[in-house]
Amino acid sequence: MKERAPAQSAVTPAPREGQTRGRASFGLQDALRPHEPIGRSAYLGGVSTTVLLIMLSWSVLTYGGLVPQLFLPAPTDVIRAAAALLREGSLQIHTMASLTVILTGWALAVLIAVPLGILMGTLKLVEALVEPIINFVRYLPVSALIPLLILYIGIGTAEKVAVVFIGTFFQLVLLVSDVSANVSKDLLDSAYTLGAKRRTVLSRVLLPATLPGVMDNLRITMGWAWTYLVVAELVASDRGLGYMILDSMRGLFTDRIFVGLLTIGLLGLMFDQIFKWLHRTLLPWSPRA
């Protein structure tokens, strides 16, 4: 009994308006069709085009002397600055300081927000208890709390961890609660009709059903955590990438500012890839893996 779509037939007529073509070969016409998949090489081509264009305009602007070095240092200047910072060891120190803070604050938030969010999305009682507070605090920008946090705990690592924690926690609780509230009722009901009791349904059905959504939100909030961290480091700090950027500005070392920005961007990219890899590896069954 075959119900799956038959394999692409040997003869592929040219696709007409609105048709999908199942082959790798394609022209520009195919690439401009909404939601249409394109080949891997075409995709990588798009990526490298963008990267090359940026590098090219950067080079023209700087080496061509169109923009003063104070505003935009040349690529080689940035590389030289990065090498110098690495030699001094300060880039490593600042990166480690930022990483320590972000991972601590984010992990603490995850540890509490994920279970709380799941309960909130599942049990109306927990929702009633928690939601008003969370919805209130959520709209307070964390940056507005920084002065208060400095007053309470100073400008050390603890204050930055607190900023990252607060910034991540309240958003994550709501995101996770949404994930668990959206678990299909029929999925839970079918577990009941298979003989599961309430506790089992919670641990063996609801919990695994939330994992892909939770994983997505971990990735998203990690991105936000960087913003909060850098804001905190810019306001008051003596180490971290945000501090490095601020300190470089004071000395008008624009090339060092760019090193800081690039490092933050690359770390963000790295975390994103790690989360995507974790999703594929830990949840191979997930439709989004």
200 binding other proteins? (CB under 8 A):
yes
Stretch that binds other proteins, among 18-26, 151-159, 180-188, 242-250 (CB under 8 A): 180-188
199 binding other proteins? (CB under 8 A):
no
Q: 248 to 287, contacts with other proteins by CB under 8 A? A: 283-287
Among 52, 83, 187, 269, binds other proteins (CB under 8 A): 187
Binding mask 47-86 for other proteins (x = CB under 8 A): ----------------------------------------
**CB of residue 22 vs other proteins: minimum separation in angstroms?**
17
CA distances from 174 to 71, 103, 177, 228, 282 (A): 41, 20, 5, 18, 23
Nearest-angstrom CA–CA distance, 72 and 173: 41
Among 193, 250, 251, 281, binds other proteins (CB under 8 A): 193
Is residue 146 a contact partner of residue 163, using CB atoms and an 8 Å limit? Answer: yes
Report how far Cα 27 is from the mean position of its chain's Cα atoms. Answer: 33
For residue 227, give the nearest of 150, 141, 157, 154 by alpha carbon.
141
Q: What is the distance in angstroms between the CA of the first residue and the CA of the last residue of the chain?
A: 28
List of residues 6+ apart from 288 with CB closer than 8 A: 212, 216, 279
Nearest-angstrom CA–CA distance, 185 and 174: 19
225 binding other proteins? (CB under 8 A):
no
Determine the size of the site formed for other proteins (CB under 8 A).
24
1 binding other proteins? (CB under 8 A):
yes
Which C-beta is closer to other proteins: that of 153 or that of 283?
Answer: 283
**CB of residue 91 vs other proteins: minimum separation in angstroms?**
42
**CB of residue 7 vs other proteins: minimum separation in angstroms?**
14
For residue 249, give the nearest of 98, 73, 12 by alpha carbon.
73
Among 107, 189, 262, 269, binds other proteins (CB under 8 A): 189
State the angle between helix axes of 157-181 and 142-153 in degrees (0 to 180), rounded to the nearest 10. Answer: 140
Please report, as ranges, the residues that interact with other proteins according to CB under 8 A.
1, 3-4, 184, 186-187, 189-196, 200, 205, 208-209, 211, 283-287
